[in-house]
């Protein structure tokens, strides 16, 4: 591959992703990001799948949690309370389709997507959880089954690096088109068990007509979370496919411009769901802080 495609921010390197462990677990991010999927020191009542208690209904309780058996026996409405599982699973979904391989400042959006998922993944395994990978490219997907501990995260990093190199080569060679996310996510629910979280990092350039339905389907038994990877400098450009000449004389076209100017750290609605906006031009330390602040705000809401 051309040397210009091997520079940091363009190529994805395993040593750089491994080094993000210390960034993910620093004093600013660790206490918050640990509340993403992962083990917990004690069991807490929440929205998991394990029943923690059955109690009498009070105004405001979710009627979907009615316990029919107890209600029938007592003649009074009773609801189930659920606890969060100790063994949580997170499937990291990385969009490495052609539209992700560009960036006007620090890094390609594809690299920024991998970094954000890696920051989350390190916290998951350090908190006792398991991580898996579904990486989407124009020429196929790379899948890493969920595993725990550092070994599991290293497997995910290896899969990301492999998939990124595959996607970058396909883009340079003009092979394949952007796979719509609704099609790419078809296998997601089969890769992780009910109760798992599915974290999707993408530019959402090709969501597909069925993305909202696909996310709704995932949400029935799993928890989808969206990370919108943008480049703030590109917002001012008219939307279109721009020709770029590589050092060896070849030309490729990348899709730029027309992005929403939502500032990084805030949220946008994608297919009816909230997506955290992350800027590929920012440092990984800033990305870690934005992820941490978002989780705090989400839990408070």
pLDDT tens digits, one per residue of 237-252: 666 666 666 556 666 6
Statement to judge: residues 138 and 91 lie in one domain: yes
Statement to judge: residues 54 and 96 lie in one domain: no
Q: How far is CA 227 from CA 52, 89, 174, 276, 284, in A?
A: 31, 18, 26, 5, 14
In this prediction, residue 29 carries a pLDDT of 41
Question: Where is the domain boundary, 83, 110, 142?
Answer: 83
In this prediction, residue 260 carries a pLDDT of 60
In total, the chain counts a number of residues equal to 301
Average pLDDT over residues 264-275: 91
Statement to judge: residues 257 and 123 lie in one domain: yes
Average pLDDT over residues 109-127: 95
Statement to judge: residues 144 and 225 lie in one domain: yes
Statement to judge: residues 128 and 235 lie in one domain: yes
How many beta carbons lie within 10 A of that of residue 172, not counting itself? 17
* Helix boundaries (H) for the chain: 14-24, 30-33, 68-74, 109-126, 149-172, 181-184, 188-191, 211-219, 284-300
Statement to judge: residues 56 and 31 lie in one domain: no
In this prediction, residue 299 carries a pLDDT of 56
The yes-or-no verdict on residue 280 having pLDDT over 80 is yes
Residues 74-107 have pLDDT tens digits of 999 988 876 555 567 999 999 999 889 888 889 9
In this prediction, residue 172 carries a pLDDT of 79
The yes-or-no verdict on residue 31 having pLDDT over 70 is no
Statement to judge: residues 73 and 217 lie in one domain: no
In this prediction, residue 34 carries a pLDDT of 41
In this prediction, residue 8 carries a pLDDT of 80
Total structural domains within the chain: 2
Q: Which residue range forms the structural domain that includes residue 59?
A: 45-83
């Amino acid at each position: 591959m051309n040397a210009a495609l091997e520079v940091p921010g363009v190529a994805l390197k395993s040593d750089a992703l491994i080094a993000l462990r210390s960034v993910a677990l620093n004093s600013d991010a660790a206490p918050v990001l640990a509340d993403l999927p992962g083990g917990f020191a004690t069991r807490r009542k929440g929205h998991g799948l394990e029943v923690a208690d059955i109690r009498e209904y009070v105004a405001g309780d979710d009627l979907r949690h009615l316990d029919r058996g107890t209600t029938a026996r007592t003649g009074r409405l009773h609801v189930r309370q659920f606890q969060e599982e100790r063994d949580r699973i997170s499937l990291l979904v990385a969009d490495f389709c052609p539209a992700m391989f560009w960036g006007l400042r620090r890094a390609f959006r594809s690299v920024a997507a991998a970094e954000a998922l890696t920051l989350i993944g390190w916290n998951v395994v350090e908190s006792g959880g398991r991580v898996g990978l579904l990486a989407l490219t124009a020429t196929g997907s790379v899948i890493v089954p969920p595993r725990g501990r550092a070994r599991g995260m290293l497997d995910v990093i290896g899969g990301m690096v492999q998939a990124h190199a595959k996607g970058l080569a396909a883009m340079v060679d003009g092979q394949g088109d952007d796979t719509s996310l609704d099609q790419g996510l078809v296998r997601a629910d089969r890769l992780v068990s009910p109760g798992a979280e599915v974290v999707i990092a993408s530019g959402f350039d090709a969501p597909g007509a069925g993305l909202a339905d696909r996310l709704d389907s995932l949400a029935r038994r799993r928890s989808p979370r969206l990370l919108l990877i943008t480049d703030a400098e590109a917002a001012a450009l008219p939307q279109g496919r721009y020709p770029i000449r590589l050092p060896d004389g070849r030309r490729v076209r990348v899709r730029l411009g027309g992005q929403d100017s939502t500032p990084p750290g805030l949220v946008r609605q994608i297919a009816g769901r909230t997506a955290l906006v992350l800027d590929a031009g920012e440092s990984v330390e800033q990305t870690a802080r934005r992820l941490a602040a978002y989780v705090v705000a989400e839990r408070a809401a």
